[in-house]
Amino acid sequence: MHDETIAIHGGYQADATRAVAVPIYQTVANDFIDADHANAIMDLAIPGFHYNRINNPTNDVLEKRLAALEGGTAALVVASGMAAVSYAILTVAVAGSNFVAAPQLYGATYTYFAHVLPTLGIEARFAVDDRAESIAALIDGKTCCVFVESVGNPAGNVVDLEAVAAVAHGAGVPFIVDNTVATPLMLKPIRHGADVVVHSLTKFVGGHGTTLGGAIIDGGTFPWAQHDDRFPGFTRPEVAFHDVVFARDFPERAFVVRARSIQLRNTGATLSPFGAFQLLQGLETLSVRLERHESNARAVAAYLAGDPRVDWVNFPGFEDNPYHHLVERYLKGRVPSILTFGVSGGYAAGLAFFDALGLFKRLLNLGDAKSLAIHPASTTHRQLSESELIAVGIRPEAIRLSIGLEHIDDLIDDIDQALAIAVA
């Protein structure tokens, strides 16, 4: 089936009630048939629902639908995008290991990597930029993965996925890609060498600013069994589950099964079934929303580029953008509706523009039906030093816009009046 159809029907077969909408299974636990059934499920010998911190029938539909859209073998949904990022790293990392990341990251991701994981003995190594050769220079025998955002938030960079995948695989480590901004309807990283994909479902998938959620999708591609010394958690018996060996017993979905069994089961960042239901509703309309998001974003970017009160516009849809060739290659010419620009007058002018907005909502989210704005240097990335801000691609005056579905004339009118106040 095509993506638009999968987003509406994927992963769901009606039960005896013949309900067309996916039911909300608002339950804490599921009844075992007998002791043998309970033992088999708890030992991972057979699939089944048991305790809803770990799995749930509503969540299961969302997982199957996302796996199908990304071209993966299995998925795990969790309580937020940051939970997905955290579980993705912790599924492969142990104290004493390191991982290499492109520096252009969402602010909370950067902070988690730079300041939280080191307290667990896990080192995040930030490359100087997102080029494969820069990432390759930091990989050593203790490296457990390479992590990038396919389209950086808010930097707007587009990673050469195939080049980075070649570097990661050449070193014997998995390649993890956060595909939140692009969504699986614009870009499927697994087709270009990613082994694991993560999402903040809060953004474009949900699309209405109502529901937190995250996802991990397993590409089923990484040969864990060939790297026993580096990944013993995948290749050696897991005593907590009667000596299950994830790479042997779940060869096509070892990553997601281990993430569910070790991370989610024991730390509990569970997505509620009602949240999964709401995210399924958002997913059904994603394809048509993205078309309007993109057309509005192109019009706003063109307006800003022609306004003398604006010093610069970073939008990968422009042909002179340094990442435009990668947009053509990986996104087939489509562009996400996220852009950054600089108001003439520096940091103070950026704040003045931000404060003067009327229709645009000033908040931290993106990918909403409503148009949103943020001043990253003073909000999402305020914990970063001046040098760190430069490394992740954020200038002091930068404004990030997430363009929504409103009428384009109303959006431009709001930008115009805010620029008039900011550059008086």
- The Cα–Cα gap between 144 and 48 comes to 31
Task: Give the pLDDT mean for 147-165.
Answer: 95
pLDDT at position 241:
85
Task: Give the pLDDT mean for 153-169.
Answer: 95
- The Cα–Cα gap between 351 and 86 comes to 32
Task: Give the pLDDT mean for 147-170.
Answer: 96
Q: Does 66 score more than 90 pLDDT?
A: yes
* Average pLDDT of every residue of the chain: 95
CA distances from residue 373 to 11, 351, 381, 395 in whole angstroms, order as listed: 35, 11, 14, 15
Task: Give the pLDDT mean for 40-47.
Answer: 88
pLDDT at position 307:
97
Question: What DSSP designation does 353 have?
Answer: H
pLDDT at position 209:
94
CATH code for the domain defined by 287-422: 3.90.1150.10
Domain ranges of the chain: 3-281, 287-422
**Structure confidence at residue 378 as a pLDDT band (50, 70, 90):** confident
Q: Does 141 score more than 80 pLDDT?
A: yes
Would you say 311 and 303 are in contact if contact means Cβ atoms under 8 Å apart?
A: no
Q: Does 315 score more than 80 pLDDT?
A: yes
- The Cα–Cα gap between 250 and 408 comes to 49
- For the stretch 246-267, pLDDT in tens is 999 999 999 999 999 999 999 9
CATH class given for the domain over 3-281: alpha beta
pLDDT at position 43:
84
- The Cα–Cα gap between 373 and 419 comes to 13
- The Cα–Cα gap between 164 and 180 comes to 18
Q: Does 54 score more than 80 pLDDT?
A: yes
DSSP per position, 177-219: EE-TTT-TTT--GGGGT-SEEEEETTTTTT-SS----EEEEE-
